[in-house]
A and B are shown apart, each in its own frame.
Chain A
Amino acid sequence: MSNYHTKSVTELSAMLQAGEVSSVELTQYFLDRIKNNDDKLNSFITVCEEQALAQAAESDEKLKAGNAPLLTGVPIAHKDIFCTDGVKTSCASKMLDNFVSPYDATVVTNMRAAGVVMLGKTNMDEFAMGSSNETSFYGGVKNPWDTLTVPGGSSGGSAAAVAARLAPAATGTDTGGSIRQPAALCGLTGLKPTYGRVSRYGMIAFASSLDQAGTFTQTAEDSALMLNVMSGLDEKDSTSVDKEVPDYTTNLNQDLKGLKIGLPKEYFDEGLNADVAKVVEAAIAEYKKMGAEIVDISLPNSHLSVPAYYVIAPAECSSNLSRFDGVRFGYRCDDPKDLEDMYKRSRGEGFGEEVKRRIMIGAYVLSAGYYDAYYLKAQKIRRLISDDFKAAFEKVDVIMGPTAPDVAFKIGEKSDDPISMYLSDIYTIAVNLAGLPGMSVPAGFVNGLPVGLQITGNYFKESQLLNVAHQYQKNTDWHRAIPEDFS
């Protein structure tokens, strides 16, 4: 009985390269796992069985020919926010339920070129707006550790799929914590690179100045392999950065003696679950054992990050989502009376409640007479928050703390209370506002539910982040845990 699902991407890659398993075999194995298990989770919106097997066969040819790139033949899942040529790309919205993209996102192109096989498209919060994956048009996703709880969001489908080992790894996007928070709640290694490191082309925009693509993997080593393929300047994205892409795997084994870890006092306040705090403290203690030095720091404006985010992100989304107007693609209402009726009903019927809430907030904060008081002020706060980090990184190498204030909450628990839902990203949002790279690494359990340790690095220091995470994973095995029902 094979147990490919217990293997990391790094291990599967080695097996493929050594010819111990074929890509077709591996792909079929994960397609079967999806078929047999996903009814419990709802983590996929689309499974691409035929295409995946065809891609796998191609990858096998490349592997046979030799010199195939490391990820050749490895099957993964893409968040349904990435456009995929010829495959439905819905962003978990009724608005795009009928949308088949005619082109590939750059992330997808890069993965394809590296020989990676796409198993399918994962569920998510509608247009990436949500922290529990409950806003999806295709229904909520369940957390494999306890199917009565949420997997986090917005990349909940990717997180649940990898946590249940229905895919060895998956892509995600992180606008305010949408990779790190679900990674924490599902016990995975989640990486959000520096803003501009990975192209946003073909990634359906939520908030353009905050969105960044990243990965869900079992290990930091896997994240490094994936990031190698995803990163780099893209001429189609003016905000992607022309900065050399190092081999992120080469730095993983550096020891951490003398590493300065900053602990912001604001991340350990009364909003944090005491048991989660203990898990995080234990992880910090582990780092001390490895020779790291702990420095108390302050990010004095961090309490402003959620309010500033909920001005900037909705402002951008209100404009970004205006293109969904029923004219050229996507949902159009039945029998429109006239143009205005078509706009109003197509958008009114095509978007879910949370999306509409944010569009309305965004339109409000940008409107004449309110722009200065909201949008401009939020931009000023954003600068203050970046400055806080800048000052902190003069003293420390990385910043650590909890990824989320609590473990996975019950389905429905926060769906009627947007503010309490928004607060579940309280520790992750500031990192997006500053554009910094961040990770969440499995650090233990509270009541059988995973807890994530958040590690934030300085701009373009992904190599260092991955090194810091990998060293921890060499000394712990939280990241190896698989939910019982899916073992």
Chain B
Amino acid sequence: MSYDSNWEVVIGLEIHCQLATKSKIFSGSSTAYGAEPNTQANAVDLALPGVLPVFNKEALRLAVKFGLAVDAEIGMRSVFDRKNYFYPDSPKAYQITQMDHPIVGVGHMDIELENGETKRIGITRAHLEEDAGKSMHGAYHGMTGIDLNRAGTPLIEIVSEPDMSSAKEAVAYMRKIHSLVRYIEISDGNMQEGSFRCDANVSVRPVGQKELGTRAELKNINSFRFVEKAINIEIERQIDVIEDGGKVVQETRLYDADKNETRSMRSTEEANDYRYFPDPDLLPVVIDEAYVDALRKELPELPEQKKQRYIKEFELSSYDADVITSSRELADYFETVNAKCGDAKLAANWVTGELAARLNKEEIEITDSKVDAGAYAGLLLRIKDNTISGKIAKDVFEAMWQGEGSADEVIESKGLKQITDSSAIEAMVDEVIVNNPTQFEELKSGKDKMMGFFVGQVMKASAGKANPGQVNQLMQKKLKG
């Protein structure tokens, strides 16, 4: 970030996370994504006259699981309220949500900072609510189309404390929550499909000022990259406004990814009065300790627990353990690789190294990796038994990624098997020494740095196939004469 250190940034996030229920939160319609418009909207979703909502208890289960996973207070009696506002994709003209008595109360989530420290981000609350439908502009000759398939999809809105002080922290927190909801299988977390999106409340204040600056709310950001960009651009905008002698206005702003700017959506004059009141169609949701305990038992190993276990059990670094446990799928992948190759450190290095880099480059998730965990373990086994060197392994991996077969098949077909025949290596060593007499003298006179040069030359001569350990040994032998 380019803003100077005279400014302090305060960020709070509201994350909307779709719960992975089969049917909607107050109707029996399917929540499956991608159906023809309005084919998953029944009388209740259409808000026909006379229909009534019936609460889907599965959404309750998933919300309580989330609360337990962030160590939060659970609302033993939660109440649904109506948030009244007119918009065509909100068929009842009110959203059923939870205001004063949410299902999840105060909790927290720890994030890793770049300097290796851990920071605790407060979670204010998380409440159950229904998603709206979608307005489709443009395609209908000056009219707007309404698709109510998404209307009534269950959400939890996870509200954080304003505890984050940079876009990076906000992204780290969002990633942690994203990873968690997938770990505990309460959401598919699919950001392209809008299953996981966030609003960011951003304000700035001069360092040392106690009271918070005026905040702007950035709406509906649905990727980690955009969250970071949108917050940073908004911070810059606010600082510019103040430094130019202006005032930040409390408003809702929309991030435009194409122009990389935020712009005002609604001004304060049009601010809605949502006229919240308890929904008389729904009874308060009352749960007991036994219910909560049963769900606690259902929780899988959480990311933080898994991370600590990896550090202890596999002696992984905190950093590696953090990266690997950042998603349940990645951790599962790592565990499969580890189980098959029997070397946790090797597995960790290769999962966080070569594989992670490749996934990053292709912008795909571990679940879409072209090399599965079993095949990847096969590759690491060949490193472990000295069939190939680490360097060759990278080429083999590349071939495997291109679909050229298993590690063994690639090694075989490309003739990449490591040369371990001492006499063959010795011949190459001799040849390199003969061709580089000056350098050899330097090495003999104690210039240890030259050892790397010779090993490198031999490796080059062998097209990388010579066993580097053996090369080293032979060089030592030659040196002693």
List residues of chain A with CB under 8 Å of any chain B CB.
82-83, 89, 91, 96, 99, 101-103, 105, 200-205, 207-209, 235-239, 315-316, 318-319, 322-325, 327-329, 339, 343, 363, 366-368, 371, 375
List residues of chain B with CB under 8 Å of any chain A CB.
43, 46-55, 82, 84, 86, 88, 91-94, 144, 146, 273, 275-277, 280-283
* Complex contact A366–B48 (CB within 8 A): no
In the complex, which of the residues B47, B49, B277, B283 contacts A239, with contact meaning CB atoms closer than 8 Å?
Answer: B283
Q: How far, in angstroms, from A158 to B401 measured CA to CA in the complex?
A: 76
* Complex contact A91–B52 (CB within 8 A): no
From residue A292, how far is it (CB to closest CB) to chain B in Å? 36
* Complex contact B281–A322 (CB within 8 A): no
* Complex contact B84–A322 (CB within 8 A): yes
Q: How far, in angstroms, from A203 to B144 measured CA to CA in the complex?
A: 30
Please, which residues of chain A bring their CB within 8 A of the CB of B82?
319
Q: How far, in angstroms, from A89 to B50 measured CA to CA in the complex?
A: 10
Please, which residues of chain B bring their CB within 8 A of the CB of A203?
50
Please, which residues of chain B bring their CB within 8 A of the CB of A324?
49
* Complex contact A327–B91 (CB within 8 A): yes
Q: How far, in angstroms, from A329 to B146 measured CA to CA in the complex?
A: 13
* Complex contact A322–B49 (CB within 8 A): no
* Complex contact B49–A368 (CB within 8 A): no
* Complex contact A101–B46 (CB within 8 A): no
In the complex, which of the residues A102, A200, A329, A367 contacts B273, with contact meaning CB atoms closer than 8 Å?
Answer: A367
* Complex contact A208–B54 (CB within 8 A): no
In the complex, which of the residues A91, A103, A366 contacts B43, with contact meaning CB atoms closer than 8 Å?
Answer: A103
Please, which residues of chain B bring their CB within 8 A of the CB of A327?
88, 91, 146
Please, which residues of chain B bring their CB within 8 A of the CB of A375?
277
* Complex contact B54–A366 (CB within 8 A): no
Q: How far, in angstroms, from A315 to B88 measured CA to CA in the complex?
A: 22
From residue B81, how far is it (CB to closest CB) to chain A in Å? 10
Please, which residues of chain B bring their CB within 8 A of the CB of A367?
273, 275
Q: How far, in angstroms, from A316 to B50 measured CA to CA in the complex?
A: 14
23 contacts between A and B (CB under 8 A): A89-B50, A99-B49, A101-B48, A101-B49, A200-B52, A205-B281, A208-B280, A235-B54, A237-B52, A239-B281, A239-B283, A315-B277, A319-B275, A319-B277, A322-B86, A322-B93, A323-B47, A325-B86, A325-B88, A328-B46, A368-B275, A371-B276, A371-B277
Interface of A is mostly: loop
* Complex contact A323–B92 (CB within 8 A): yes
If the complex has contacts A102-B43, A315-B277, are A322 and B94 also in contact, measured as CB distance less than 8 A? yes
* Complex contact B50–A204 (CB within 8 A): yes
Q: How far, in angstroms, from A204 to B50 measured CA to CA in the complex?
A: 4
Q: How far, in angstroms, from A328 to B46 measured CA to CA in the complex?
A: 8
Whose C-beta in chain B lies nearest to the C-beta of A342? B88
Q: How far, in angstroms, from A235 to B55 measured CA to CA in the complex?
A: 10
Please, which residues of chain A bring their CB within 8 A of the CB of B94?
319, 322
* Complex contact A323–B49 (CB within 8 A): yes
If the complex has contacts A209-B280, A238-B282, A319-B82, are A103 and B88 also in contact, measured as CB distance less than 8 A? no
Q: How far, in angstroms, from A316 to B53 measured CA to CA in the complex?
A: 15
Q: How far, in angstroms, from A38 to B238 measured CA to CA in the complex?
A: 70
If the complex has contacts A204-B50, A208-B280, are A323 and B275 also in contact, measured as CB distance less than 8 A? no
* Complex contact A238–B47 (CB within 8 A): no
* Complex contact B52–A83 (CB within 8 A): no
* Complex contact B280–A322 (CB within 8 A): no
Please, which residues of chain B bring their CB within 8 A of the CB of A207?
280
Q: How far, in angstroms, from A323 to B94 measured CA to CA in the complex?
A: 8
Q: How far, in angstroms, from A325 to B339 measured CA to CA in the complex?
A: 60
Whose C-beta in chain B lies nearest to the C-beta of A211? B280
If the complex has contacts A239-B283, A315-B277, are A322 and B92 also in contact, measured as CB distance less than 8 A? yes
From residue A94, how far is it (CB to closest CB) to chain B in Å? 14
Q: How far, in angstroms, from A203 to B283 measured CA to CA in the complex?
A: 18
In the complex, which of the residues B53, B92, B273, B276 contacts A238, with contact meaning CB atoms closer than 8 Å?
Answer: B53
* Complex contact A202–B51 (CB within 8 A): yes
* Complex contact A339–B54 (CB within 8 A): no
Please, which residues of chain A bring their CB within 8 A of the CB of B280?
207-209, 239, 316
Please, which residues of chain A bring their CB within 8 A of the CB of B273?
367-368
In the complex, which of the residues A236, A318, A328 contacts B52, with contact meaning CB atoms closer than 8 Å?
Answer: A236
* Complex contact B92–A201 (CB within 8 A): no
* Complex contact A91–B49 (CB within 8 A): yes
From residue A86, how far is it (CB to closest CB) to chain B in Å? 14
From residue A478, how far is it (CB to closest CB) to chain B in Å? 35
Please, which residues of chain A bring their CB within 8 A of the CB of B281?
205, 208, 238-239
Whose C-beta in chain B lies nearest to the C-beta of A322? B93
* Complex contact A325–B49 (CB within 8 A): no
8 shortest A-B CB distances, which residue pairs? A322-B93, A366-B275, A208-B280, A209-B280, A202-B50, A204-B49, A323-B47, A83-B50
If the complex has contacts A319-B275, A363-B275, are A83 and B49 also in contact, measured as CB distance less than 8 A? yes
Please, which residues of chain A bring their CB within 8 A of the CB of B47?
323, 328
Interface centre among B49, B93, B280 (most CB of A within 10 A): B49
Whose C-beta in chain A lies nearest to the C-beta of B44? A236
* Complex contact B277–A366 (CB within 8 A): yes
Q: How far, in angstroms, from A341 to B350 measured CA to CA in the complex?
A: 62
* Complex contact A201–B277 (CB within 8 A): no
Interface centre among A89, A207, A368 (most CB of B within 10 A): A368
* Complex contact A103–B48 (CB within 8 A): yes
From residue B25, how far is it (CB to closest CB) to chain A in Å? 13
Q: How far, in angstroms, from A200 to B52 measured CA to CA in the complex?
A: 8
From residue B42, how far is it (CB to closest CB) to chain A in Å? 9
Please, which residues of chain B bring their CB within 8 A of the CB of A315?
277
From residue A238, how far is it (CB to closest CB) to chain B in Å? 6
Please, which residues of chain B bring their CB within 8 A of the CB of A201?
50-52
Q: How far, in angstroms, from A102 to B51 measured CA to CA in the complex?
A: 11
Q: A339-B88, A368-B275 are in contact. List 20 more A-B contacts (CB 8 A).
A: A101-B50, A102-B48, A202-B50, A202-B51, A209-B280, A237-B54, A238-B281, A238-B282, A315-B277, A322-B84, A322-B92, A322-B94, A324-B49, A327-B146, A328-B47, A328-B91, A328-B146, A343-B86, A366-B84, A366-B275
Whose C-beta in chain B lies nearest to the C-beta of A363? B275
From residue B87, how far is it (CB to closest CB) to chain A in Å? 9
* Complex contact A238–B52 (CB within 8 A): yes
* Complex contact A238–B54 (CB within 8 A): yes
Please, which residues of chain B bring their CB within 8 A of the CB of A371?
275-277
From residue A429, how far is it (CB to closest CB) to chain B in Å? 16
From residue A48, how far is it (CB to closest CB) to chain B in Å? 18
* Complex contact B88–A89 (CB within 8 A): no
Q: How far, in angstroms, from A227 to B132 measured CA to CA in the complex?
A: 38
Whose C-beta in chain A lies nearest to the C-beta of B80? A238
Interface centre among A91, A238, A343 (most CB of B within 10 A): A238
From residue B47, how far is it (CB to closest CB) to chain A in Å? 4
In the complex, which of the residues B91, B276, B283 contacts A323, with contact meaning CB atoms closer than 8 Å?
Answer: B91
From residue B160, how far is it (CB to closest CB) to chain A in Å? 24
Please, which residues of chain A bring their CB within 8 A of the CB of B51?
201-202
Whose C-beta in chain B lies nearest to the C-beta of A367? B273
From residue B243, how far is it (CB to closest CB) to chain A in Å? 34
Please, which residues of chain B bring their CB within 8 A of the CB of A105?
50
Q: How far, in angstroms, from A105 to B88 measured CA to CA in the complex?
A: 25
Q: How far, in angstroms, from A105 to B281 measured CA to CA in the complex?
A: 16
Whose C-beta in chain B lies nearest to the C-beta of A375? B277
Q: How far, in angstroms, from A363 to B281 measured CA to CA in the complex?
A: 18
From residue A409, how far is it (CB to closest CB) to chain B in Å? 30
Whose C-beta in chain B lies nearest to the C-beta of A205? B50
Interface centre among B50, B88, B273 (most CB of A within 10 A): B50
Interface centre among B48, B53, B146 (most CB of A within 10 A): B48
From residue A112, how far is it (CB to closest CB) to chain B in Å? 16
If the complex has contacts A99-B49, A239-B281, A368-B273, are A323 and B93 also in contact, measured as CB distance less than 8 A? yes
